[in-house]
Structure 1
Amino acid sequence: MRDQTGGTLVQVTFSDIVQAADNIEGKVENTPLLYWDDVSNLAKAEVWVKFENWQIGGAFKARGAYNLVSSLGSGDFVTVSSGSFGKVMAKAIAEKPGASLTTVVPFTVPEHKIKAIQYYGSEVIKYGAEYKEAEAFAYDLAAQTGRRMLDLESKEAIAGQGTVALEALEFEDFDVILAPAGSGGLVCATAIVAKNLCPRAKVFGVQSEASPAWYASFQAKKLVPVEYKSSIAESLHGGISQSLLDLALEVVDGFVLVSEASIEYAINLAAKKICMIFEGSGAVGIAALLSRRVPDVEGKKVLVIASGGNLSLDALTDIFKRYRD
């Protein structure tokens, strides 16, 4: 099948996600799933958190990266990243004999994330003010140099991301599931797992008001151009594809937006109450609950995917200064 933009429609099944779990076993962490009483009391719900900030590389994207790399042989590769995916992809490629990686990042990516990518031996090229510009450059670079493009929206990467929900739903059932929405792979894969293991669960993607692409396009049922602003959740920036929008319209129940202030509050709460560091994208689910953006959660059992913890010390210090409670 082909989407409206001429790309291949994403085809990810529950079986693909189960196979991905086998492929990455022993290479990534089975992260904690814990009840959080503070947020539960504030949200008047039973809130459980899947702590992907404890994952290798500090984010859930290690799952997709290792599943994708498991299908590769030797060779030279190109990828594009807003930070976390590039870091874990660089690590996975570094462990692959005869493989090398060039990572393209937009200028908005924080320096600490760039250094983390370089640490594992990947060349880093900065290009573009927005993710979509960096992505277009990466595809051109791959085509011009004969290297394979490793795409965060590939079937293998998305299936790997679905193992977050697979682990959580193996032990618990939920009424509502909240997942950050950047490229959209995590929330779509989470919804596929939920439809198979916990059909009653409503799955919502969460974005910052500073990057509302998913919210606007899902509402309109078509790709909608939006304005991007500076955000503490910069890894959720970037355009979305028609392929993933089509998939989301089939399996995801909705998208909600949260303010920058609510994201910072959630980061502050996690650090001070449970000694957990969330990056902005990892905190949006908690922000959505505490700011009452998710419909019909009172008295319900809620799973929040805290997708990562790659927050710079400077950013965390600035938040602490604003929240001295």
Structure 2
Amino acid sequence: MNATRSGTGPTSASGPDPEEVSFAGIQKAAKLIRGAVLETPCLPAPALSALTGAEVFVKYENMQVTGAFKERGAIVKLASLTPEERSRGVIAMSAGNHAQGVACHARRLGIPATIIMPESTPFVKIAATKSYGADVVLAGETVHEASEEADRIASERGLVWVHPYDDPRVIEGQGTIALEMLETYPDLDTLVIPIGGGGLIAGNGTAAKAIRPDIEVIGVETVLYPGMWGDFYGKEVRCEGATIAEGIAVRDVGKLTRQIVRKVVDDIILAKESTIERAINAYLTRLRTIAEGAGAAGLAALMSEPERFAGKKVGLILCGGNIDPRLLSSIVIRELARDGRLVSIRIDTPDRPGVLGEIATVIGNLKGNVVDVAHHHLFLNVPAKGATLDVTFEAFDGQHGEEIVAALRERGYLVRHMEVAETFE
């Protein structure tokens, strides 16, 4: 698939005039959604402040019923439909969170919903969307391919589109988050907001700049999908690849949202995949809360460029927490390895009784904790009278792990590290 696009190239379906999105509309949306979605807390995060050097405040949109902010825009759009449109039913395309928001509130309002999702969507999001009673169709490997199938089905069945980001009512619904944040903390210097198609940042940038024209609005995308960054700076970019932040893996940003972004956004940061992993882990281990890849992107931006945010009051939107549990557990293990608290080594040993006990004793005497051992006799690069041991042990930190390795080497063992592969840079 050719995934190259330029800042001036074609985008998603034609969008309306950006003037249709207004601060008054966002205020109206706030009244409309009251009682239908949670007014999630916005709280200081001292642990993240210590990590980044900024004074961090987090808006916990992962606490919504569907686990993400998308309910806000979905409600506002669904409420705007005529009785005739409601009877025809709606269709949405989404990698997960918008799907759940539309499905949940379509059922509440008695509107039939068909949801098109990419085949790569995490199972946890597919299952959750089906649980709200929507007709779920998996199509295509990417959001773009799924969108093409949604267009076909919408035309065939006469369904009403509920676009995930390029719709004035959806954008205004998302913008209610900034209203709540600035009502709680009116002196925030900066908002850092994830960008997929651009609905979240378009709505919240509009609201924030109307309330505080001097506030800084910073967007963040993954390096694999820099679509809005390319449009913002007029650069040719390539959008492709498997990303941990599938919720913002959008190749073609909205025609409406990109116009609004040019007006209300000050800068866009690109975060590496490995930094997003670290941000997910930081939310889990430091704040005891769950962030999916897209939800952690704002924190990843702070971790990518801490010097530009140092000392500032920064508001982060933790926009979603719908992450596959297996992926989350993998990230935790990878971060333990990166930090040196989980050490994997390969040891060449003579094949004689007691060797494994000797190695375990050395590690145990130095307060390491062996968690896994694999004993290999049949590798052809191992002498016939030798063996290879793969040992994984826990250490207090990187220095402690190196002390244990040094002690094994002092006993005459050939020890090699088996590094965590940094495949997602």
TM-score range, shorter chain: over 0.9
Partner of 2:211: 197
Amino acid at match of 1:14: F
* C-alpha deviation, 1:243, in angstroms: 2.3
Per-residue CA deviation, residues 233-287 of structure 1 (Å, 9 max, x unaligned), is: 0010122123221111111111111111111111111111221000000101111
- Cα distance change, pair 323–7 in 1 and its aligned pair in 2 (3 A): closer
* 1:8 partner SS: coil
> Shift of residue 4 of structure 1?
7.3
Of 220, 226, 241, which aligns to 1:206?
220
TM-score, structure 2 length as denominator?
Answer: 0.72
Is it true that 1:287 corresponds to 2:319 in the alignment?
Answer: no
In the other structure, the counterpart of 1:64 is 73
Out of 120, 129, 143, which is 1:117 matched to?
Answer: 129
Which residue type is aligned with residue 43 of structure 2?
A: L
Preserved contact between residue 57 and residue 84 of structure 1 (Cα < 8 Å): yes
Residue 41 of structure 2 corresponds to residue 32 of structure 1: yes
Does structure 2 retain, via aligned residues, the 8 Å contact 1:29–1:55?
Answer: yes
Q: Aligned with 2:80: secondary structure? A: coil
Tell me the equivalent position of 1:16: 25
What does 1:79-98 align with in structure 2 at a 5 Å threshold? 79-97=92-110
Aligned with residue 41 of structure 1, among 50, 54, 62: 50
Matched residue type, 1:220:
G
Farther off after superposition, 36-45 or 109-118: 36-45
Percent sequence identity over aligned pairs: 34
Partner of 1:269: 282
Q: Deviations over 1:84-131 (max 9, x none)?
A: 11011101011113x201111112211111111111111111112211
Measure, in 2, the Cα distance between the counterparts of 1:146 and 1:118. 22
Residues 290-309 of structure 1 correspond to what in structure 2 (within 5 A)? 290-292=303-305, 296-309=308-321
Aligned to 1:315: 327
Match of 2:168 in 1: 155
Q: Match of 1:247, as an amino acid?
A: I
CA deviations over 1:148-168 (Å, ceiling 9, x no partner): 111122111111100111100
- Asked whether the 8 Å contact 2:68–2:97 carries over to 1, the reply is yes
Q: Could you tell me which residue of structure 2 aligns to residue 108 of structure 1?
A: 120
4+ residue stretches of structure 1 with deviation over 4 A? 3-6
Corresponding residue number in structure 1 for 2:376: none
Amino acid at match of 2:72: R
> Residue type matched to 1:194 in 2?
A
Larger radius of gyration: 2
Partner of 1:54 in structure 2? 63
Correspondence for 1:132:
144
Could you say which residue in structure 2 is the equivalent of 1:182?
196
* Residues 279 and 310 in structure 1, CA contact (< 8 A), matched pair in contact too: yes
Which residue in the other structure is 2:392 paired with?
Answer: none
Asked if residue 220 in structure 1 is aligned to residue 201 in structure 2, the reply is: no
Contact residue 161 and residue 189 of structure 1 kept, 8 A: yes
Contact 2:226 2:237 in 1 (8 A): no
Q: For 1:303 and 1:117, how far apart are their aligned partners in 2? A: 29
1:169 counterpart (182, 197, 220): 182
Count of equivalent residues: 319
* Letter paired with 1:107: E
**Contact 1:9/1:244, CA 8 A, preserved across alignment:** no
Unpaired runs of 5+ residues, structure 1, are none
The Cα offsets for residues 3-48 of structure 1, whole Å up to 9 and x where unpaired, read as 9775433421001100000110000001111111122123222111
State the TM-score, normalizing by the size of structure 1.
0.94
Paired residues of 1:39 and 1:290 also in contact (CA < 8 A): no
2:370 aligns with none
Report the Cα distance in structure 2 between the residues aligned to 1:38 and 1:30, rounded to whole angstroms: 23
Instruction: Letter of the 2:36 partner, please give it.
Output: K
Report the secondary structure of 1:207's partner residue.
strand
Say which SS state the counterpart of residue 58 (structure 1) adopts.
Answer: coil
Q: Which residue does 1:235 correspond to in 2?
A: 247
- Match of 1:94, as an amino acid? R
Alpha-carbon separation, structure 2, partners of 1:182 and 1:286: 16
Distance in 2 (CA, whole Å) between partners of 1:251 and 1:8 is: 17
Cα drift, residue 225 of structure 1: 5.1
CA distance in 2 between partners of 1:254 and 1:42 (Å): 22
CA distance in 2, matches of 1:138, 1:216: 26
Say whether 1:144 aligns with 2:152. Answer: no
Please state whether the residue corresponding to 2:315 is helix, strand or coil. strand
* Counterpart Cα distance in 1 of 2:278 and 2:10: 39
Question: Which of 253, 259, 262 is the matching residue for 2:272?
Answer: 259
CA contact (8 A) 1:211 1:228 kept: yes
